[in-house]
Chains A and B, each alone.
Chain A
């Protein structure tokens, strides 16, 4: 009798091991849902759509993108906790937003830093300082001298308060000892519209806009650690003597409490998609900088970003009080 039970248990264990291993290979077995906290046409929406275009071809399943814009992404992130932990309900995470918001908004953010669980950082965009093509400010030097000539009079646009553009603005001013007027806009395309209409003198924005609007705006400097191959002429702020690095990252996120097995599967599946040559090419052409920080390294990277932006976030929210 005991033998039979033992045999059953063994065979059960073997069976479950086999099914487990086959499901590792098989993820995803049904369509995968990815919630994006911004509208379908913004940099985040497009970052997700790049993957959607090739997802079916690579994995054999569909990627369903749900746009849930609101509160600078927080509307989507505040609902991560409620998602199923099976790897099929994912959320696109933006950094540094998800670090800065819980600091600035406290409980009103709707989520905490711990709710943010990245499993695969796959793309990034450095921030750039941009002006209108026919602006009297021609070079980075012009901008600096204009800011110095009359502190507080140069207007610089950016998206929102306490977001990544605002953090770049703050860091840059701190490093240079500058004083300028920050004008917040509701989204990236409004920021660019404000810049192009001459409402603001300059803007903090992303390299994606440099590609899209290359004809009508001029990039002055890039806040990354090295020059970007798409803009070989564009100097980094560090080269110019103002060591500011501020890059926005996107990661696939899982709900907190997801097992490491599932995290690994999600990370692996999406890694295959973003490693697809055409996805990479599309992203590079669009001004995105593909990166690859899979699970479990993604945890360390999140901790690093959390440390880097923790101080900035505190300063931004302290400045407000």
Chain B
């Protein structure tokens, strides 16, 4: 019972936090819209109003509702790995202009594939294999894009 109450409280806090954030965005849009021309002001003001109205409504509904909505599907799996993946992506993107597409891509490929959870414990051979696959894939994409599609990919500025 206590567990259930905590879940409800947690859900409620999440909903309210979400609504408040979007409500603030709406207020900000309303405020910023004042600076625009008459023709360019209408839409942002309308969107700001809509966001504000909906988030206030969501808070009201949250407090007034008596019955439980069907609970959202539970999130399974490791949150640590998720955060790690996001961090790796951010580092990758930040490093891209310095390392260039190929180097950054190969490194990111190897590291991300190492971060994927595995069923078996043959990690060292897998890691080597994935790194080789990563290098081949990255270079393959690089060749196709630059030579065939004529898309100049970021070059290293660091070396």
Q: Please tell me if the beta carbons of A64 and B37 are within 8 angstroms of each other in the complex.
A: no
Q: Please tell me if the beta carbons of A320 and B150 are within 8 angstroms of each other in the complex.
A: no
The interface of chain B, by Cβ under 8 A from chain A, is: 37, 150-152
Top 4 nearest A-B pairs by Cβ distance?
A64-B150, A320-B37, A33-B152, A64-B152
Q: Assuming A33-B152, A62-B150, A66-B151, what are 5 further A-B pairs, CB within 8 angstroms?
A: A31-B150, A64-B150, A64-B152, A66-B152, A320-B37
User: For residue A66, which residues in chain B have a CB less than 8 angstroms away from its CB?
Assistant: 151-152
Among residues of B, the one whose C-beta sits closest to the C-beta of A65 is B150
User: For residue B37, which residues in chain A have a CB less than 8 angstroms away from its CB?
Assistant: 320
User: For residue B150, which residues in chain A have a CB less than 8 angstroms away from its CB?
Assistant: 31, 62, 64
Instruction: Give the complex CA separation of A255 and B134 in angstroms.
Output: 36
* Distance between B50 CB and nearest chain A CB, rounded to angstroms: 23
A260-284 Cβ-contact flags toward B at 8 Å (1 or 0): 0000000000000000000000000
Instruction: Give the complex CA separation of A14 and B151 in angstroms.
Output: 38
Among residues of B, the one whose C-beta sits closest to the C-beta of A82 is B97
Could you list 8 A-B pairs, sorted by A, with CB under 8 Å?
Answer: A31-B150, A33-B152, A62-B150, A64-B150, A64-B152, A66-B151, A66-B152, A320-B37
Instruction: Give the complex CA separation of A262 and B135 in angstroms.
Output: 37
* Distance between B151 CB and nearest chain A CB, rounded to angstroms: 8
User: For residue B152, which residues in chain A have a CB less than 8 angstroms away from its CB?
Assistant: 33, 64, 66
* Distance between B31 CB and nearest chain A CB, rounded to angstroms: 18
User: For residue A33, which residues in chain B have a CB less than 8 angstroms away from its CB?
Assistant: 152
Instruction: Give the complex CA separation of A64 and B146 in angstroms.
Output: 11
Instruction: Give the complex CA separation of A245 and B150 in angstroms.
Output: 39
* Distance between B30 CB and nearest chain A CB, rounded to angstroms: 21
